[in-house]
Amino acid sequence: MSAVHEGKKAGNREYCWRLPSDLGKIPQLQQEIMQLLQQNGFPEPDVFAVRLAVEEAVANAMKHGNRLLPNKAVEVALGLEDDAVWVCVRDEGEGFDPNSVPDPTSDENLERASGRGILLMRHFMHYVEYRDNGRTVYMVRRRVLASGSACHVFCVSTAQA
C-alpha cells in the first residue's frame, strides 16, 4: 500500500485505511481501491460505481463530518467477497440525520453546486445504511452479472447505534 495512509490487510480480503481530513488524499485511496477490485476480478461497472461512492462518502465525511479539521481522521474499511464488495466510511464528527438532507432533485436545489453525494451513493451502490447517528455509512455493491446486470435491491436505514 502507499504512503498516503496506513493501509493494511486486516483479514480475509479486508482492507483498512485511516486518512487525515484532507480532500487531496482521496484520489490515491480511490486508485488503491480500484486496483484491489480489478485484481479480484470485479468488472468495470462495479469498479466505477465503488470508486464514485467512495469519493462521495469520504469527501462528505471529511467536509461535513470532520469539517476538514486536520486533527480528525476518516476511517475506511473495504471487504471483498465472492459476489460483492462492501465499504464502511466513518468520521469523527457529531453525526447527522440523512433523512434531513434536502432533496437534490427538487426544483429549488437543481442549480446548487453541491448536495448530490448521498443521491449518487444510493444510485451506484445496492445497499446504503447510515449507522452511529450518521457518523458511519455502510455500502454494498454486488458484482455485475455476466449479462451486465445486477440485482438492484436497495435499502436505506438510519439505525441509531
Domain ranges of the chain: 8-157
* Angstrom distance (rounded) from CA 52 to CA 79: 17
- Render pLDDT for 25-84 as a digit per residue (tens, 0 to 9): 999 999 999 999 999 999 999 999 999 999 999 999 999 999 999 999 999 999 999 899
DSSP-derived secondary structure letter, 65: I
**pLDDT tens digits along 106-118:** 666 456 655 567 8
> Domain 8-157 has what CATH class?
alpha beta
Q: Is 112 a catalytic residue?
A: yes
pTM of the shown model: 0.80
Going from the C-alpha of 13 to that of each of 8, 10, 30, the distances in angstroms are: 10, 7, 17
Residue 140 has pLDDT above 50, yes or no: yes
Residue that is written with C-alpha cell 462518502 in the block: 57
Candidate list 32, 51, 55, 56, residue with the active-site label: 56
Position of cell 447505534?
Answer: 161
Catalytic residue selected from 32, 51, 60, 143: 60
Closest of 5, 1, 13, 3 to residue 87, by C-alpha: 13
14 catalytic per annotation: no
